[in-house]
Structure 1
């Protein structure tokens, strides 16, 4: 599980305009045709998935609700995932 906000380099307060801008930047950078990094294709797919969820209001609301619920149900495990994604991006 990756954090969609981290995949786009955003925080959870990002606006739709912020999401679109970050997606364009990240997708351009990680596109496998432009980036020879061994994990570029995986990172590009993660950026696409993040955009699909965060750009759709209903999907984003469900994602945010699930994210909050996971923090309440299993705060240590969820915090580890979020911090691991934040501190060790696929760069």
Structure 2
């Protein structure tokens, strides 16, 4: 029972850790672009979306290997827990 709770806790923590870098990058890019738009009085609504899309894509490309390794470790742990629960 405690193994299951620990596994779900690790899964939730993993979701937070893996989604944090793109979320932080998108937030920082959005604030920066909005500030620049406010200063220069540009009213283009698509500009922040394009900048955020490119920034998040670059972030995910750069962190893809780390994300994959972490997800693989969590998957292996889940298979191990299923195997031990079946005994």
On whether the aligned pair clears a TM of 0.5, the verdict is no
Larger Rg computed on CA atoms: 2
Answer 1 or 2: which has greater helix percent: 2
TM-score by length of 1: 0.28
